[in-house]
Chains A and B, each alone.
Chain A
Amino acid sequence: MKRYTIPRVGTKLLLPLILLFALYVQFHGDYGPGGGFQAGVIFGAGFILYALIYGLDNARRLMPPWVLRIGVSLGVLIYAGVGLLGPLLGGQYLDYAVLDARDPAHGQHLGILWVELGVGITVSSVMVTIFYAFAGRGR
């Protein structure tokens, strides 16, 4: 890809926008189409595009496998951990209404925001991990 200027420059221009759009889909998921899964896929696709254009080694420097390993697990832990706050604060498991004692609806918002964040982290990490695993075969 070294000799192809247009994809290289185009990627540099697009990459921040892709990642920003992923964050928009992530945090606007409450009110519009989107959510953690879609955002995670877009976020992961950004890194995959980078790896396709600039090579696997550069991508691994940018997003090392040990970070992915933590990301894969961290998302699940956030999801299940937020659920555990329910019983700790006197509700049922996955009951986010208790997160805000004065305004249960706000508590639900808060809970789902965290849960979606967990989903987003795990999905994007898994996407990039799978890509690394396939791209790294036979090396």
Chain B
Amino acid sequence: MIAHLPALQVVIPLISAPLCALLPAGRPAWLAAMAASWLAFLIAALLLYQVLAHGPISYLMGGWPIPWGIEYRVDALNAYMLLIVAAIGAAVASFGRTIVEQRLSLPLNKHPWFYTAYLLCLTGLLGITVTGDAFNVFVFLEISALSSYVLISVGRDRRALVAAYQYLIMGTVGATFILIGIGLLYVMTGTLNMGDLAARLPAVSGTRTVRAAFAFLTVGTAIKLALFPLHLWLPNAYAYAPSPVTAFLAATATKVAIYVMLRFFFTVFGVKFSFETMQLDKILLPLSLVGIASASLVAIFQTNVKRMLAYSSVAQIGYMMLGVSLVSVTGLTASISHLFNHALMKGTLFMALGCVSYRVGATRLERMAGVGRSMPWTMGAFVIGGLSLIGVPLTAGFVSKWYLIVGALEKGWWPVAALVLATSLLAVIYIGRVVEVAYFKPAPEGQRVEEAPLALLVPTWALALANLYFGLETSLNVGVARLAAQGLLGATP
């Protein structure tokens, strides 16, 4: 079965999704979802191990040879992304059952459908990452997007419905643009396999059709990954979705969109076309800088902590795109390792907030007064995640920011490096506000809050400790990221 791991990576969550729908509500459906998520994580870990040991894996769906059939191709970048998505999936699925279901606006007999939607979303995200076929990317993109609209809309706040609808409109526009781009490429080359596309595109790269395809793909993926002026769907969607869903989507969905962008710009179109002919870096650089600064500023003035972290996500996406716009091994290493580190820190923060909203019933800043004393473990995890978000040394967040600054200095871009440092101080302010309220404000009269149950604390702390671990031992998050960056830029390692 080892040879079939790339297919099983997608098929196991895919088969578990309808199984979940058939199982009775309550424990069985939840257990099935958790088992599938952990199996997916195991497979992702095995795949990464195989890729690092033996090089890229190619799997032919149905045994059809490459230009005709769908190829699943796993190299260092894919395997790394698979591990991120599957690890966060496993951590979120381990959230206790009663806690997850308390946050849903569904009647009990519909709860299995929630797990079905979650597993389909996981299937889609893993599928986008593992496939080497451009059209297959679109199909999985739709699977993950449609299921994530459902996941967001079941939040207890009624505004979740509007947020999901906004996301649906923007997400559909994005997916359509991506489809148009892929269609134009297919018209010009007659192939959908990414490797084959890369080989055939240079011959026709001077045509307007290919340039239009490039533009459509750029805008489409930019909507999906919430690049600065196209990010407006994100804050509401993250703020009103159920907490476990927010933790899952914030840590995976936008990352996978960034992966799609990297794959198309670097592997399919090639560095020369994307950054010399089309000069994409000159667009990405200002957008990411403005995005970092403005989203960090907006985050400071939010009163809902979940919404604040959502804006902070927009800023963090800016850091990742900044690394891409440097077009150097160091810059890309920073971007790719930040995919990993940001998944860890946002996963921790949103899961800690999930604990808070479970006990306090809200994530508004004033309701968190005194929570630091009544829920020390929860807020401890929050502080670790916050420090990592700021980029304090010894945490994972420091590592990727370090490479980002080194990358900017390599190019001699002093102002960019200064801006990265300055915006980290903005993160100190917005995380600091939460810490101040939680630890130094007295709890409101008559509010009795207990520590979150273990079923919540264990997965939250697992991610929090991972933040510390990967801040010290960087052979996985930076080492593999560097390999992936070298692979993208075509440099020999």
Taking Cβ atoms with an 8 Å cutoff, the residues of A that contact B are 69-70, 72-74, 76-77, 80-81, 83-84, 86-87, 91-97
Q: Are B63 and A92 interface neighbours, CB within 8 A?
A: yes
Q: Are A70 and B59 interface neighbours, CB within 8 A?
A: no
CA distance A72 to B7 in the complex (A): 23
Chain B interface residue count: which class? Answer: 10 to 19
B162 / chain A contacts, CB cutoff of 8 Å: none
CB distance from A67 to the nearest CB of B (A): 12
Q: Are B63 and A83 interface neighbours, CB within 8 A?
A: no
Assuming the contacts A86-B62, A92-B7, A92-B61, asked whether A80 and B14 have C-beta atoms less than 8 A apart, the reply is: yes
Q: Are B15 and A96 interface neighbours, CB within 8 A?
A: no
A70 / chain B contacts, CB cutoff of 8 Å: 22
The 8 residue pairs across chains A and B that have the minimum distance between CB atoms: A73-B18, A93-B7, A94-B62, A95-B63, A76-B18, A92-B63, A73-B21, A87-B4
Please name the residue on chain B nearest to A74 by beta carbon.
B18
Most buried by B among A76, A96, A97: A76
Please name the residue on chain B nearest to A70 by beta carbon.
B22
Q: Are B11 and A84 interface neighbours, CB within 8 A?
A: yes
A81 / chain B contacts, CB cutoff of 8 Å: 15
CA distance A118 to B492 in the complex (A): 47
Please name the residue on chain A nearest to B3 by beta carbon.
A87
Q: Are A77 and B4 interface neighbours, CB within 8 A?
A: no
State whether the Cβ of B203 lies closer than 8 Å to any Cβ in chain A: no
Please name the residue on chain A nearest to B70 by beta carbon.
A94
State whether the Cβ of B17 lies closer than 8 Å to any Cβ in chain A: yes
A86 / chain B contacts, CB cutoff of 8 Å: 62-63
29 A-B pairs (CB sep. < 8 Å): A69-B21, A69-B22, A70-B22, A72-B18, A73-B18, A73-B21, A74-B18, A76-B14, A76-B15, A76-B18, A77-B15, A77-B19, A80-B15, A81-B15, A84-B15, A86-B62, A87-B1, A87-B4, A92-B7, A92-B60, A92-B61, A92-B62, A93-B4, A93-B7, A93-B11, A93-B62, A94-B61, A94-B62, A95-B62
CB distance from B6 to the nearest CB of A (A): 9
A96 / chain B contacts, CB cutoff of 8 Å: 62
A83 / chain B contacts, CB cutoff of 8 Å: 11
Q: Are B59 and A77 interface neighbours, CB within 8 A?
A: no
Taking Cβ atoms with an 8 Å cutoff, the residues of B that contact A are 1, 4, 7-8, 11, 14-15, 17-19, 21-22, 59-63
Q: Are B19 and A97 interface neighbours, CB within 8 A?
A: no
Please name the residue on chain B nearest to A96 by beta carbon.
B62
Most buried by B among A83, A91, A94, A97: A94
CB distance from A2 to the nearest CB of B (A): 33
Given A73-B19, A84-B11, A97-B63, 11 other A-B contacts at CB below 8 A? A72-B18, A72-B21, A73-B22, A76-B14, A76-B18, A80-B11, A80-B14, A87-B4, A92-B7, A93-B11, A93-B62
Please name the residue on chain B nearest to A111 by beta carbon.
B62
CB distance from B282 to the nearest CB of A (A): 43
CA distance A77 to B116 in the complex (A): 13
CA distance A73 to B15 in the complex (A): 9
CB distance from A42 to the nearest CB of B (A): 23
CA distance A69 to B15 in the complex (A): 15
Assuming the contacts A87-B4, A93-B4, asked whether A77 and B63 have C-beta atoms less than 8 A apart, the reply is: no
Q: Are A91 and B63 interface neighbours, CB within 8 A?
A: yes
Please name the residue on chain B nearest to A78 by beta carbon.
B18
